[in-house]
Structure formats: C-alpha cells, structure tokens
Amino acid sequence: MIEETSIKELKGVGDKTQQLFEKVGISTVGDLIRYYPRGYDVYEESVPIGEVEEGQIVTVTGAIFGKVQVSGTRAMQITTIHVKDLTGTIRVIWFRMPFLRNTFAKGGTVTLRGRVINRKNGLVMEHPEIFYPSSKYEERLNTLQPIYGLTSGLTNNAVMKAMKQALTGLNLSKENLPEELRLKYELAEYNYAIRGIHFPEDKEVFCHARKRLVFEEFLTFILSLRILRDSNEKQENEYVMEKHPKIDTFIGKLPFQLTGAQQKVWEEILTNMASDTVMSRLVQGDVGSGKTIVAVLALLNTALNGYQGAMMAPTEVLARQHYESICNLFETYDIPIKAALLTGSMTTKEKRRVYDRIECGLVKIIIGTHALIQDKVFYDNLALVVTDEQHRFGVKQREKFAEKGGVPHVLVMSATPIPRTLAIILYGDLDISVIDELPANRLPIKNCVVDTGYRNTAYSFMKKQVAEGRQCYVICPMVEESESIEAENVIDYAESLQSEMGDSIKVSYLHGKMKQTEKDEIMTRFGNNQIQILVSTTVIEVGIDVPNSTVMLIENAERFGLAQLHQLRGRVGRGKYQSYCIFMTASKAKETKERLDILNHSNDGFKIASEDLKLRGPGDLFGIRQSGLMDFRLGDVYQDAAVLQMASDAADWLIKNKHDCLKMLPDYERTSSVII
Ligand code: ADP
Ligand code: MG
C-alpha cells in the first residue's frame, strides 16, 4: 500500500464510510495517516473517591454498594449504582442501559472512568466507561488512546481501525530530512514518528514523534515563507498613493484623538503606500488597542485616491460589525464613499448585486469574509487588502487577488500576542508594526479568579451592572469538545440564567451552530443593548466590539488557554467604563490557580503568553492548544516555540548550503493550505 491508495482499499471501508471520511477531508491513505489525533485519552491510576472533584474525568475503583436501581422513563431509563472505597462513596449513573442491572447483580469491585458532575444531590459520575471486574483496567493503565476529530456517523473506533490497518500495510516512506539535521536536533525518523503520533506506547514515544512532525511542519512553512519573501521583495508598487487632504479633516473630527502608537503605525502605512514597492505589513496590537481605526484610515485613503480597498474578517459577525461601524463613521462625518458587505451566507441574488457594484467600481470599500476571494468577484482597481484578526493571510489568497488585477498592498491586523522573536520567524515576509499603547480613556480591567461557590455573588454583581446601564458576557462551561453539546449547554445555561435574572433583564445566547442570520440578529440586538446579558461559546472570542459591556464571566476558565482567555477578556474594557473579568473555576489544583493568576495580575497579552509558556514548560503537551495561531496541524506556536526556533535555524542552514532536500521541501501545495 502506498500513500496515494484510496481509503476504499482498506478493509471495512465501504461507500458509506468512505463518504464520512471524505467529509473530514480524507480520501487517500496518505490523508488518513496525516489525520493526527486531536488529543489522547490517558488511562491514569484510580483516585480516592473522597478526593474526586466536579468537572474532572477520573478513574475510581471501589465496591458496588447496595442495590442496582433502574429508574426514569421508558425512553430514558437511568441505571444507578453506588461505589464505595475507604475514602467515600459516589453515585454513578448510565443512560439507556438498563441491562446493567444484571451485569452488576453479583457485586464485587468495579473500575469506572468518566466525568464527575455536580447535581442537586451531590457529585455524580455520569455514563462512565466500565472495567468489570477491576482487573480489566490494568491492561489500559497508562496507555494513550488517540482521539480523532469526528463527524456524525464516524466513530473514533472506526478511525482507529482504519488507521491501524493503514499503518500496518503501508510501505515505508523515504526519510526526507537530512541526517545532519536529525542528529543535531534529535529528531525521530519519519515512519517512526507517524506511527508514534497515532499509537504512542507511552508519553516518551509520543513526545519524540510529535517533535519530529512539528519540526517538519514548521520547517516547510518557514521555507515557503522565505521563498515568498524573496519573490516579494522587489514587487513594484502599482498603486502609489499620497495622503488625501480629507484624511486629516476626518481624523480631526473623530470623537477621540489617535494614540501616539496609532499615529506612528498610520504613518508607517502611509510611507509604504507612497513608496516604490508594494506594502506587506503586519499590525500587531493587543485587544482593544484600536487597530480598526488604523485599518479604516488606510481603506479610506485608498478609496479617496480612487481605488478599491477590501477588508477580510474571519467571521461573518465580525465582518458585519466592521461594515456597520464604517458606514456609521462615513455617515456621521459626511464621507461620500460607498461601502458594501459580502459574506457567504448572503443569497445568490444579494451577492450578485454586490458583485456588480464591485465590478463597476461603484463601491470603493468592501468588507467581508472569505467570500471576498471567490472566483466570481471581480474588483475594479483593488489596491489594498486588509485582513483583520486573520492569523495568517495566505500566500494563495494574495495570489488570488493579484490574478484579478495588480498586486494589492496587504495589511494584516492581529491581536494575538506573540513575542517579537517568534513574530519575525512567522511573519518573515511582512514588515511589523506594533500598537503598543492603549487609548488614554481606558481603566484597567479588574480581574478575579474564583471558585463556583462565588457564582451567585457574580450574578448579583451582574444585576447591579445592568441596573447601571451596562451589559455582560458569560462564556459558557465547556463540557466536551463537541459543538452540538456546547450548543445545548449554552441554551440550558441561558435559560436558567434568565430565570435567575428576572424579567427586566434580557438574557440571550450565541453559539457556533446557529444560523448566520440568527447570529447577526443577536449581535445587533446586543450591540443596541436590547439584550443585556449574552451567554456564548468562544465564538465571540475575536474582534467583537461592544464598548458598553463591562462584565465578562468565564465559566470553567481552567479549560482555556491563557492566550484565549486574554482574548475573551478583551471583549470588555473597550470603553470608558470600569470593566471586570471573573474567571470561575471548579478546579482546586494548585497549577490551575497559578496559571489563572497570571491573568489576574496582568492585562498585557505579550507578557501573559510568555509567562504561560514558562510555567507550563515544553513538556506539557497534553494541555490545551494554546494559541490556535496559524492553523498548523500539530504545531503550536507558543508551546513549540523552541522547535520553531530550531526549524528557523535549520531553514537558514539548508538555504545557505543550497541543500538537495530543498527540492522536496517545501511541499508548497501542502504548506499554503496551512497558511490560511
Ligand atoms: P482592537 O485593536 O481590539 O481591534 P478596536 O479597534 O475595535 O480594538 O477598538 C476598540 C475600541 O476603542 C473601539 O470602540 C474604538 O472606537 C475605540 N478606540 C479606538 N481608538 C481609540 C482612541 N485613540 N481613543 C479612544 N478610543 C479609541
Ligand atoms: Mg479588532
């Protein structure tokens, strides 16, 4: 079997399974083996029942105590047992498995692994995996089971089975990294790494395998960036523009003064756009530092010079928000420039209308999502492309724009805190500007890390804030990494919070599975303060700007990466009001407190990221994916910062020595899909 073999050749993969695999982007054996696990289940030692905490997945071992009960309705039968060890007793339930009554009838000891939830009458372990008798658990102890990204109908077991077959039957691939590099950086051999990432015997194998694959992923990426940078270096500026006189009048009329940092970055952009070569610039600035207005100035100047400018946002909600605020600004300050919104969820008819208006040059500023780079969009002198909160503007995307006319200026806005040394490696093809100053009217956000016992106090606090005219966000508890379960949680949570808050306060919710029009409606209503409390998943993580919101309550804060928490917190403290961020956690673990405390004491995104790195150390790879920055398959820019540095050095070495392996690397097609 070779990598190009269709997965249909695998035993047990029929038409139906093939379709399911296609859905997650797997059509060949090669695709399959590069479908890395999202995480691993670790079967750890049992913990004493008396020490079990809410929210955790744990293993307990104890004697079945008392009778097995089956209750509930016919459609939803609930089996309950009690399990007891020397330290305590815990209630355990299963749904729709009444036959367990017989299974457990003879008693004895059982080992159970599952999540513990706090119900009205105490802690309950819900629907755990059963090892009965207990000795069955020993085989599993300390092993790692891969967990794959799934789609409805495709089970983890099915992926595991196919994977095992593929890996056993696969011909060995050629090692494509030079021996010197492998020795120098202690990198595992390719075939070993691929096997080790899917079915590691232990953590050590996993770490080795992963390091090798992450290295390769980074190296490929860096090499293609270097190639891009070289080809970009002297790209002529086809859209030379000066500052239009109306710009300063516009700036003068704004309700605030630009900060020194905004002014500095704006001037850097102006210099670029007036120079001989095309602009490729990254603007970094912490959440709330005011990046949008800088982008708007660049877009406006482009439009006033008679060209088109486009701004691409990662979500429709954010695109709409930008569109609306730009329209508002232009209306308020009498700017005779027309803007348009273009998003994927618009009807064909609506889209066609916008396409026409773009093509004939009637609209000068176009805001949208990825829909902006569809083949059907033809621009009329597109001179500037801004991407907001897009972690990476793809090589291909720039090419796409260039195909449609000249080579536009590119401005990438990012709030992801990342140390300068890393930024230089990752954005090697871009010049970097930093907005390192917050607007003067801001009060620092007040933070606190609290346990769940504080929830009611937090609710009263929110009530008070709403009574003063403010608004709040609640980030809902994460239970599973599954979108549909998350959606249910959000809905349940919002319902119970609504009854808690009473009729005078409107609570609503937002989650990833909602229709775009619904999301837009909720965001618009929240923006107008028709909704006072918004319960949401992390879909509001980036960009959303409702300066009247002053409270951010994050449930299960321990389950998020610090960088992500910092972004979430950035949704408040965006206006003149004192804002608050409450990190709520059920975990009593010392490390959790330590980690969250970093946020508690700092509002500086750059500092938070590096402190987190220090605290977690490079060994902590089972943790949460920290950054989500640039969708690498495996690598994480923060977590694997050291490997990133190695890959960068290796890239220099390969280029300097004009090494043969450069012919194979970078695999341009694969890399550029990573860079989106
Ligand atoms: P981000 O950098 O997170 O994208 P935004 O550009 O959305 O931040 O700005 C956050 C808020 O700060 C917005 O409401 C914006 O109007 C306001 N803002 C931007 N610049 C200034 C400034 N110089 N002074 C006061 N408020 C500002
Ligand atoms: Mg923004």
Residues 6+ apart with CB under 8 A from 525: 508, 531
Ligand 1: does its nearest atom lie under 6 Å from the Cβ of 436? no
**Distance from residue 287's CA to the centre of ligand 2 (Å):** 7
User: Tell me: the pLDDT tens digits for 227-249?
Assistant: 777 766 678 899 999 999 999 99
**Distance from residue 176's CA to the centre of ligand 1 (Å):** 48
Given the structure tokens 């002297």, which residue do they identify? 234
User: Tell me: the pLDDT tens digits for 612-636?
Assistant: 766 654 444 444 444 445 567 788 7
- Collapsing DSSP to helix, strand or coil, 492 comes out as helix
User: CA 241 to CA 271: how far, in whole Å?
Assistant: 9
Residues 6+ apart with CB under 8 A from 69: 79, 80, 81
User: Tell me: the pLDDT tens digits for 349-400?
Assistant: 999 999 999 999 999 999 998 888 888 899 999 999 998 866 555 555 666 7
Ligand 1: does its nearest atom lie under 6 Å from the Cβ of 326? no
Beta-carbon count within 10 A of 121 CB = 7
With CA atoms as reference, report the closest residue to 542 among 288, 361, 358: 288
Given the structure tokens 């609570």, which residue do they identify? 507
Token readout for 210 is: 């992963």
Q: How far apart are the first and last CA of the chain?
A: 31
- Collapsing DSSP to helix, strand or coil, 325 comes out as helix
Q: Is the pLDDT of residue 420 over 80?
A: no
| Band of pLDDT at residue 151, cut at 50, 70 and 90 | confident
Ligand 1: does its nearest atom lie under 6 Å from the Cβ of 547? yes
Which of 566, 574, 577 for mutating ligand 1's site (highest number of atoms within 8 Å of CB)? Answer: 574
Whether the CB-CB separation of 301 and 356 falls below 8 Å is answered with no
**Distance from residue 389's CA to the centre of ligand 2 (Å):** 6
pLDDT recorded at residue 53 = 86
- Cα dist. 238→195, 234, 235, 406, 434 in Å? 50, 12, 9, 7, 26
User: Tell me: the pLDDT tens digits for 654-663?
Assistant: 988 888 777 6
Whether the CB-CB separation of 474 and 535 falls below 8 Å is answered with yes
Whether the CB-CB separation of 284 and 537 falls below 8 Å is answered with no
pLDDT recorded at residue 664 = 62
Q: Which residue's CA is the closest to the ligand 1 atom numbered 26? A: 439
Ligand 1: does its nearest atom lie under 6 Å from the Cβ of 608? no
Q: Is beta strand 549-554 parallel, antiparallel or unpaired with respect to 471-475?
A: parallel
Ligand 1: does its nearest atom lie under 6 Å from the Cβ of 256? yes
User: CA 649 to CA 643: how far, in whole Å?
Assistant: 10
Whether the CB-CB separation of 497 and 560 falls below 8 Å is answered with no
User: Tell me: the pLDDT tens digits for 82-118?
Assistant: 999 999 999 999 988 899 999 998 899 999 999 898 8
Which of 545, 548, 603 for mutating ligand 1's site (highest number of atoms within 8 Å of CB)? Answer: 545
Q: Is the pLDDT of residue 665 over 80?
A: no
Q: Which residue has the higher pLDDT, 602 or 255?
A: 255
pTM, two decimals, is: 0.73
Considering only CA atoms, give the Rg of the chain: 27
Q: Is the pLDDT of residue 344 over 60?
A: yes
**Cis amide linkage into residue 133, ω under 30° from 0:** yes
**Distance from residue 314's CA to the centre of ligand 2 (Å):** 11
State phi, psi for 561 to the nearest 5 degrees.
-70, 150
Ligand 1: does its nearest atom lie under 6 Å from the Cβ of 556? no
**Distance from residue 518's CA to the centre of ligand 1 (Å):** 26
Which of 293, 567, 576, 579 for mutating ligand 1's site (highest number of atoms within 8 Å of CB)? Answer: 293
User: CA 18 to CA 173: how far, in whole Å?
Assistant: 24
Ligand 1: does its nearest atom lie under 6 Å from the Cβ of 402? no
| Band of pLDDT at residue 586, cut at 50, 70 and 90 | confident
Residues 6+ apart with CB under 8 A from 296: 326, 329
User: Tell me: the pLDDT tens digits for 450-501?
Assistant: 988 999 999 999 999 999 999 999 998 765 555 666 667 889 899 999 999 9
Whether the CB-CB separation of 593 and 449 falls below 8 Å is answered with yes
Q: Is beta strand 77-85 parallel, antiparallel or unpaired with respect to 88-95?
A: antiparallel
| Band of pLDDT at residue 250, cut at 50, 70 and 90 | very high
User: Tell me: the pLDDT tens digits for 154-211?
Assistant: 888 899 999 999 999 888 888 889 999 999 999 999 999 999 999 998 888 999 999 9
State phi, psi for 418 to the nearest 5 degrees.
-150, 130
Ligand 1: does its nearest atom lie under 6 Å from the Cβ of 328? no
Torsional sign, CA 8, 14, 17, 20: positive
Query: Which atom of ligand 1 sits closest to the CA of residue 325?
Result: 16
| Band of pLDDT at residue 512, cut at 50, 70 and 90 | confident
**Distance from residue 286's CA to the centre of ligand 2 (Å):** 9
Span 586-606, mean pLDDT?
Answer: 80
pLDDT recorded at residue 631 = 63
| pLDDT, the chain, mean | 86
Q: Crossing angle, helix 291-304 and helix 316-332, to 10 degrees?
A: 60
